[in-house]
Every structure is written in structure tokens, then in C-alpha cells.
Chains A and B, each alone.
Chain A
């Protein structure tokens, strides 16, 4: 086992960081180009909204996936970082008139810091203990924000509408296409980042910890330090999605921003697609998000629970028959290079 891990670490040294498989490069290029050109095909407002939701949820699931895939820890409280991102942009814009663009960065910073504070005591916990601890901490954040007058208590923060300067206020009232591109940029950026992380020395070390933490520790890898790094990276990926959503709907309230359902949804998307695999969250989001968006249209108010029934049943089916996620259905030769080894 130790040989295996040290071989992996050596491999990490020798393998070029910028390795591209020719075929996958072409496929990715075509997809990215068509996503960039998509708004020019005059799609409906709903199509733009749907694509945006897919991008955002893919990023959120990827954030969860970074923690689970790299450190093996299962978080049930990822809404914490979504909420912090949402509150950071809204708070600094409403109270201090700082542009949301900087607000996003502040949100990322605060999220990373909070992840470190939470992570130091609880990342030592194993398995269920960690999962339940994150679940409880996530709800605690909601309870505290519901009763914190500075951030508007349970009614939250309303972001004032600003029609004069759409770019500095990051509000686009005429067309939602700008939001599409913002989320697309984060989507591509996040996946590129995770892809790099996957092949970097850091990524190999994290996987060594996940698979055999005792062996990794005997090779001189500081286990708890790397777990905290993974948690912080994961939190920093999550935060901007909250910020973008806050700017999109122009209201932040604790019941939505720190909703446990967000934490569970990102877990379901990742498991649906395939945990520990960079493509898992995309596949999961492409399958699950349209279900909820379409059911909202066709069934109106009651649609909220129909999509959840489908989600729950789908997840149980996946867990029973395909525990490695949908990604495991794709032929091996296609995913060989990107697989988390």
C-alpha cells in the first residue's frame, strides 16, 4: 500500500501538469464554444435561466465534491458557505456601498476563513460524526442569521435596485444574459481549477490521505493540515455561487441562503454524477436541475415536492444499483485520463 502511494506521489512529480488528451481537448473545446455562443441563438428566458442554474449547481456540487473526493469527509452543511457568499455581497453593498464584484472576493475570503475555523476542531472527527457535526453547524448558522439584527434578522437584506450603473452594481435588469456569462465563467474557471488540483502534487497527497490516511501520514504527509486545505478550497468555491444568486434575485434571507436543502442538494448531485470524479457534478447537475426547474413550470406551487420525490427515488436507485454514479456508465476509455486515481 505504501509503495502504491509513494509511486503515485512520484508519478505526480513526473507527469506534466498541462497534459491534454487530444480527443478530450476537442470535445471540451466544442462544448465551451457552444456554451459561449448559446445566448446568440436567441434562446428563451427560461432556457437561459435553466442553463445558469445548471452551471451554478454544478459548481456547488463540485465544491462539495472537492471535499468528499479529496478528503473522504462528507459535509452536510455546505449551505454555510453559500449563505456567507450571499450575505457578504449583499451586506457590503447595502451597508457600505462596496461593489458586489469586490463583495464576491470578500465572500470568498470570509468563507475560507470560516471553513478553517470550523475545520480545525471538527475535521478530526470521522465518518458519521463529521457529517452530523456539519449538519448541526449549518443549521446553527441559519438560526444565528435569523436573529441577527445587523443582517436584517429573518427578513434578510433587500438589495436596492440600481438602474443607472448595471456594471458597478452587478444588476442587469434588461437581460439576464450577463448573469449567464458570469456563472459560465465561474463554471469553467472552477472546473479548470479542480482539474489542475486533480493533477497537482496537492491533489495526489489529498487522495493518498483519503485512501490510506495512516500510510500517508507515515510518509510524512500532514493529514489534518491537508484536510483543512481541502475544506478551505471547497468553501471558497461555494461562496461565489451564493453571491451570484443574491445578485440574481436581489434578496438574501436566512431561510433560503442557509437552507439545509442546498447542502443536501449538492450532495445528491455529486452522488448522482459520481463522487470523486471531476465530471460527476456536471452530469449530476445536468440530470437533476432540469427536473426541478421543469416541475416548477408544469406543476406550479406543488411542483416543489414532485421534484423532491423524483430526487429521493433517483438517489436511492443510484445508491442501490450504481453506487459509483452515472459517470461509471461511460466507457472506461473515455474517462481514463480524468479519473481520480
Chain B
């Protein structure tokens, strides 16, 4: 009788799998959210894009009133899919130390994405629902999360071991190149310390100095950490797949924002042709949040296939999702140099970053470097002017492909200085400063500390 009943082993799902299967799932899982819905919100709040007046899918984003329900999928995907799979890699890696190392570095990257948008988040008690039966993790202060992430990434970098087996094609980002992972970790830490440059300058400076002292170096040209996508349905770039599915059915919700197109046009910036597909009016954007003109939506430029944003162009499917780009790395180094940290040459790094960005889109930066106003690095200017140039140029570079980071850097530095309040703003003359916590976390976490207003700044944001 006992044996007759002993059939409750799940025949449909395995109870154990190789960690080689978890790494690509986790990497693509991060990209799915950062390059998908978060890219939409980031792209609109960094004023690259605005909602098309003839559709309405993302109107709430332009209205600055996204709800907790708008970020459920992003939060759940990062925690329950990506971070948890990375956690299983750490648990199961055994002698495969490089898997655990990469997993920790990627966990650090992911936790930073979460804390930058949400502020205080579960960190020290996170991901322990099964292992320690913690089903309602407590929230850690952002300051502690930052310290924790830095320690975690350093731990991962220390565990990278060229003498142990490395991943292969299952590492979608670097194909198992451990030295690139070292530089990715170092650049990630640079990005983190730079985020603290205003809030905790002493800590930031000491941290940056140690990164330079390690001799590991940072991501160089051609070392962008990214995942590339395919034209087969189910392998689409996440932004493109948000538009190209049976529900949304190729509706073009995103169009160019005049904030970006006006300033790029003023600089005769050729990158417009890569970041956008021209409308009947050329590379012209609509005013941010303006839904009053219904007649001529087709006159506006729309995000181009290179950033995955053109709903009817299949080339959008193959746009990559960037984790950290080479030009981002160069601009972080430039900023460090401008602040007098590390030992780089800010002007040189600034120029290299622009060239790298043009290169990434198959364009030639020569004319732009020679003529454009925002390409003329104020080597003789004040540090603040230099930082304004570096961050504003970063904003141009990240157009459409790292919207979340561009908006986050705007929150840190206030640059570009020419953002406008969305015409659809429902919060008056204010900008959004964070994401609201997701509904499901509010409902399901017994230790949830309380919802925040969208205008509350996160801890490091003292600008």
C-alpha cells in the first residue's frame, strides 16, 4: 500500500539542475526588467521619450503617477527570478568558484538597480524564503545596502580564479572571460562610489582610490557588458517584446521627446539617426507629456531599432540590453579624474567616451567632437562645469539604451539642467525621484516599512 501511494515525485519538473542552466537565466532575467519596463520608465523620465498622443499605454509614466502595480513585474523578476537563481548558483557551486564569483558580482549589480530606484530594500534577509524560512524579509537602509553590495562585489571579484573552470556560452555577457568580469566588477564599484560622491565624498574618494590602486583597471572600449538578442519571437529585445506581442500588437506608444531632440538638433548630433527613426517631420520630438495634438502623431520621430524601440521594425528585436557600457565606464573615469580622484585624464577620457558611443552605433564622431557645443570639454572650467559636461554627455550617450541610469545620474547631479516638467504631470511642478514600492510587496511583506511618495528622494540623492 505504501509503495502504491509513493508516486508524489513531480514528473513535470526536475528537483535538481546543473548551475550552467541557471547562469544564463539569471543574466537574461536582469536584462528582461532593466531593458524592458524599467527602460520604458527610465527612458521617459530621462526625457528621451514621451507617450504618443494617439495611444495611452504609458500615459501614467508621463503623468508621474506610476502605481505600485506598474513595478510588480520588475521587482518580482529581479528578486524571485534573477537574484534567486544567482543565489542558487552560490549555494550549489561547490568547487566551481567562478560561477559563485560571477553570481555575486551580478547580485551586486542587481541590488544596486533595485536600491537606486526604490531606496531601502530587503538585502541582508533577502532570498532566504526557503533556506532560512524568512518569508517577510526586513528592509535595510540604503546606506547599509550600498555597503553590503560593495562587500559582495569585492567578495566575488576575490573569488574569480583563472585556474578554475570558467563558464562558456552559458555566460551570455562575457562568454566566461574572467578578466572582463574583473574589470566589470571594478567598474561597477566605480559606479557605486561615484553615486556616493555627493552624499559621502570621503568614502567615495577612498573607495575610488583603492579601485585605481588595485591595478585591475576598468572596462575599455569594446568591453561593454551586454546581452544581444535575436529576431526569433521569444528571443526579442525586452523593449521590443513589450510592443511586439499579441496584446499590444505593435502599437507605437513611445515617441521622441523634444527635450532630447531639440538639444541634439542644436548640436547637429548625428546620433539622432541611430537613436530614432525620423517621423514625417524629421527628427522632431513632441513636448514631454503633451497629449493635446492628436492629428499629427506620425510627424514625430520614434525610438529607432538600434535601441529596440521601433515597434514595426524587426531590427529592433536585436538591440542589445546594456549592463555597463564602455562609454559609461570612460565617463565614470572622467568624472573621477575631474573630481581629482584616481589618476586619469578627464578630457581625454571624455573624448574617448564620445568616440566609443559613436562607434557603438557605427557613426564617426570626428565632426561632432570638433564642432558640437557639448563635445567641448571645459578643461579650464570649474569642476562643477566639467561634471555638467560629463553627465550631460553621458545623457546623450545613454539615449534609449540606458534610460534608467541616465535618469538616476540626473537625480544625483541635476544634469542635464534643462529637463522640463511633463505637460501631463499630476504632481504639479515636481519631478519623480524614485519608484513607488510594488503593490505585492506592500501586501505580502509583513515587515514592509511603508509606502513612499514618488517625490521622496533616496538616501544618496542630496542634489
A and B form one complex:
no
- Chain B interfacial positions (CB closer than 8 Å to A): none
- Chain A interfacial positions (CB closer than 8 Å to B): none
